[in-house]
């Protein structure tokens, strides 16, 4: 028996680029590690945190919802 375990997600660093956070990958990594990004209300410092559709990312006082069309 085989199971298809394909979960769609986008990594936090890629999501920040999509919503318009400017800078190189290194700068975005520093932004995340500084503790200024929240995912679902909790501070997130993992650069490659997997985000699923419906997750809410907060950055600089604005909230962004991960949409199905944004993920792999």
pLDDT for 29 equals 94
pLDDT at 13: 96
H or E element that contains 38:
strand 37-39
Q: In a 10 Å sphere around its CB, with 0-12 CB exposed, 13-18 middle and 19+ buried, how is residue 65 labelled?
A: exposed
Q: Specify the pLDDT at position 3.
A: 52
Structural domains of the chain, with CATH:
10-70 (3.10.290.10)
Which segments of 1-72 does DSSP mark as H helices, in order? 12-18, 25-33
For residue 6 the two structure tokens come to 């394909």
Tens digits of residue pLDDT in 4-54: 455 799 999 999 999 999 888 899 999 999 999 999 999 999 999 999 999
Greater confidence (36 vs 71) lies with 36
| 71 vs 16 pLDDT, higher one | 16
| 44 within 8 A of 12, measured Cβ to Cβ | yes
């Amino acid at each position: 028996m085989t199971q298809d375990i394909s979960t769609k997600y986008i990594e936090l660093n890629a999501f920040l680029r999509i919503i318009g956070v400017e800078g190189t990958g290194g700068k975005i990594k520093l932004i995340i590690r500084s503790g200024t990004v929240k995912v679902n209300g909790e501070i997130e410092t993992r650069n490659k945190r997997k985000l699923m559709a419906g997750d809410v990312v907060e950055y600089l006082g604005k909230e962004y919802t991960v949409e199905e069309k944004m993920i792999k």
